[in-house]
Chains A and B, each alone.
Chain A
Amino acid sequence: MMKVYAIIVKELKEYMLKPGAISWGLIFPLVFSLAFIARFGDIDHLVPGLVSISALFGTTSFVSSSIIFERRLRTFERLLLSPVSYGEIIVAKILVGTIFGLMVSTVTLLLVLHFMTYPLWSVSVTTLNLLLSNLTFAAMGVYISLAIFNPINVMTWLNIIRLPMMFTSGAIASLTLFPRWFLPIGLVTPMTYSVDGLRYGILYYYDVVPPLASALTMIFMTLLFTLLSIRSLRRLY
């Protein structure tokens, strides 16, 4: 675990202020949230989605930024040359993405809470879902960043995947408002579980997925993306 901790500290020092992490990971979700606050005023039903979007963009932007830099500058090979297992490297990348995502999504949550009519229902359930959301998105970001062969294409592919997710997950508009055939698309979107989990913690209701199912699915997805990331790393090197 000391090696994982060392990688996390290194990543935060090295990549926290990189343009990719700041622009897509911090500024975009905050501006996005402010835009909705300015437009609608009463944003209670949007809060889970805005927080989830912040987590998605915070985590994926940070991990992709770090992995793109490390693959292009070949600092990734430094890690691979040292006696650290592929699993430890992937876990460290996911955890550091989670830390960054938690910072960004907590700032967003504190910001949007000011504009809510009703108080937050449960701090502990919200915190748990925030943690699981960030873990899932960080693991997904690590997998996408390693699955794409050419690192310069990572950010493009990431946006192709995560921008539509804002609409297929019920983050902006409830999935119940869409035609029935759209529901399966929503259910294969990792963000759906994050939004519904957070919706339960913040507003005490859920849209399509019950809270326990949301939490278990996010844990399952985190493990799946972790294993897929290790496989991608082995394929790359």
Chain B
Amino acid sequence: MSEPIVRAVNLTKRYGDFTAVDGISFEVRKGEIFGFLGPNGAGKTTTVRMLSSLTTITEGEAYVNGYDVRKEKVKVKKSIGVVQDVSNLYDELTVEENLRFLARLYEAPMENVSKLIKDFNLPAKKKFGKLSSGFKKRASIVAALIHDPPVIFMDEPTIALDVRSAKMVREMVRVLNVSGRTVFLTTHNMVEAETLPHRIAIINHGRIVALGGRNEVRRLVGSEVRVRLKVEPLKSAIIHALEEYSPIFDEDSLLLKVEDVDTFMDELEELKRELGFRVLHISTELPSIEEVFLELTEEENGEKGCACGGCPL
């Protein structure tokens, strides 16, 4: 296990009577992609703002790259690159001028500018305001790399992007990670949550409700296991008989929600004898991150579904 590069201890942020982040503690290990998930208003952005010293910490401690966020702001700022949820470079400046400006602020070598423009295929002479939203995001990510920081904070990097641009951003996240950087990724996009992070924290109402590796987090909710079952021949009688397990078709298999796997296996044996079919494949799967996310955040919010009972919400 590698050493922590970001550490939050009892981190709290209050705005008057409202507590946006409520005593959270976690560590981000060097070289990992850390997914910080949560619904809107859960405290994700406030946490990033505290860790990047953009807002003051009300209580608790935070360390980035070994530096105390409260006391060593300049060293923290030099250790991090921040990609915010908006693409906030300067519209009237070209991409190159924007990057040169930031290089001056960070006292980074000017060679970084031309290298990054080349590496990430950016239109150097085009004004930032004239770029497509995808290129704006790409340029914003590159801007965060100008001083070659070991830690990158990305706050909802694919929000409001089209499918192609979002995919490009996810690829950039992987490239950054492969190049040795630690990525702190806040998102409520479940595609990202399923594929990118090595470890995940789920925050809700300012508190961390799940923390661990992807599979660890998946195991956190309920005792329900998803069983993938492939039988031959597939008869409607089999589906009827398995109705209590809420069967759904997924490609050529049935996906079933099973609480007690032993009882289910006994029932399946009985059904095989009764209805005469062969089991070609059977396996168990953990719930998706999306399911875990919904369960953990819905429970907290008390929003299990629409009150009308008739719509799928």
Using CB atoms and an 8 Å cutoff, list the residues of chain A in contact with chain B: 2-3, 6-7, 9-10, 13-15, 17, 73-75, 77-84, 237
Contact A77 B84 (CB under 8 A): yes
* Given A10-B97, A13-B92, 12 more pairs with CB closer than 8 A: A9-B101, A10-B90, A14-B91, A17-B92, A74-B86, A77-B84, A79-B105, A82-B77, A82-B106, A83-B78, A83-B106, A237-B55
B85's closest neighbor in chain A, by CB? A74
- What are 8 of the A-B contact pairs (CB < 8 Å)? A10-B97, A14-B90, A14-B92, A14-B93, A75-B88, A81-B54, A82-B102, A237-B54
Contacts of B143 in A (CB 8 A): 78
Q: Does B104 contact A (CB under 8 A)?
A: yes
In the complex, the answer to whether A10 meets B93 with C-beta atoms within 8 Å is: yes
Complex contact B93–A13 (CB within 8 A): yes
Cα distance A84–B90 when bound, in Å? 17
Bound complex: CA A13 to CA B91 (Å): 10
* A82 and B105 within 8 A (CB): yes
Q: In the complex, which residues of chain B have a beta carbon less than 8 angstroms from the beta carbon of A10?
A: 90, 93, 97, 101
Residue ID in chain B nearest A73 by CB atoms: B88
| Residues 73-96 of B contacting A (Cβ, < 8 Å) | 74, 77-78, 80, 82, 84, 86, 88-93
CB of B54 within 8 A of CB of A6, answer no
Give the shortest distance, in Å, between B248 (CB) and chain A (any CB): 43
Complex Cα distance, B84 from A79, in Å, reads 13
Cα distance, A237 to B84, chains bound together (Å): 15
A233 to B106, CA, bound (A): 20
Given contacts A14-B92, A81-B54, A237-B55, contact A6 B104 (CB under 8 A): yes
Contacts of B107 in A (CB 8 A): 2, 83
Is B89 touching A78 in the complex (CB atoms < 8 A)? yes
* B52 at interface by CB-CB < 8 Å: yes
Q: A13 and B97: CB pair below 8 A?
A: yes
B90 touches A75 (CB 8 A): yes
Chain A binding surface SS class: helix
A81 touches B101 (CB 8 A): no
| Bound complex: CA A80 to CA B78 (Å) | 12
Q: In the complex, A83 Cα to B104 Cα: how many Å?
A: 10
Residues of B within 8 A of A15 (CB): 92
CA distance A208 to B143 in the complex (A): 53
Specify the chain B residue showing the minimal Cβ separation from A3. B105
What residues of A have a CB within 8 angstroms of the CB of B88 in the complex? 73-75, 77-78
Closest B residue to A5 using CB positions:
B104
Chain B residues in 8 Å Cβ range of A74? 84, 86, 88
Can you name the residue of chain B whose Cβ is closest to the Cβ of A18? Answer: B92
Interface centre among A2, A3, A75, A83 (most CB of B within 10 A): A83
Q: How far is the CB of A16 from chain B (nearest CB, A)?
A: 9
A81's nearest neighbour on chain B, judged by CB, is B82
In the bound complex, do residue A83 and residue B74 qualify as a contact, i.e. CB atoms below 8 Å apart? yes
| The 10 nearest A-B residue pairs measured at CB | A6-B104, A82-B105, A83-B77, A74-B88, A83-B74, A14-B92, A75-B88, A14-B90, A10-B101, A81-B82
Q: Are the C-beta atoms of A81 and B90 separated by less than 8 Å? A: no
Contact across chains for B86 and A84 when beta carbons are under 8 A apart: no
Q: How far is the CA of A145 from the CA of B54 in the complex (A)?
A: 19
Q: A17 vs B93: C-alpha distance in the bound complex, in angstroms?
A: 13
The residue in chain A whose Cβ has the minimal distance to the Cβ of B143 is: A78
User: B residues within 8 A CB of A9?
Assistant: 101
Bound CA–CA A36/B201 (angstroms): 67
Chain A residue with the shortest CB-CB distance to B79? A83
User: Could you tell me the distance between the alpha carbons of A10 and B104 in the complex, rounded to whole angstroms?
Assistant: 11
Minimum distance in angstroms from A212 CB to a CB of chain B? 39
Please, which residue of chain B has its CB at the minimum distance from the CB of A79? B105
Q: B54, B101, B105: which contacts A77 (Cβ < 8 A)?
A: B54
A17 partner residues in chain B, CB cutoff 8 A = 92
Point out the residues of chain A lying under 8 angstroms from B77, CB to CB. 81-83
CA distance A15 to B55 in the complex (A): 26
Residues of chain A within 8 A of B93, CB atoms compared: 10, 13-14
In the complex, chain A residues whose CB is within 8 Å of the CB of B97: 10, 13
CB proximity of B252 to chain A, nearest CB, Å: 49
Cα-based distance from A218 to B93 in the complex (angstroms): 34
Contacting pair B52 A81 (CB below 8 A): yes
- In the complex, A78 Cα to B101 Cα: how many Å? 11
- Contacts of A77 on B, CB cut-off 8 Å? 54, 84, 88
Distance between B266 CB and nearest chain A CB, rounded to angstroms = 60
* B52 neighbours in A (Cβ, 8 Å): 81
Say whether B90 contacts A2, CB under 8 Å: no
Give complex CA distance A9, B104 in Å. 11
CA distance A131 to B283 in the complex (A): 79
Determine the distance from Cα of A183 to Cα of B104 in the docked complex, in whole angstroms: 48
Expressed in whole angstroms, the Cα–Cα distance for A84 and B74 within the complex equals 8
**Complex Cα gap A55–B105 (Å):** 29
Scan residues 100-115 of chain B and give those whose CB is less than 8 A from a CB of chain A. 101-102, 104-107
Measured between alpha carbons, how far is A75 from B129 in the docked complex, in Å?
13
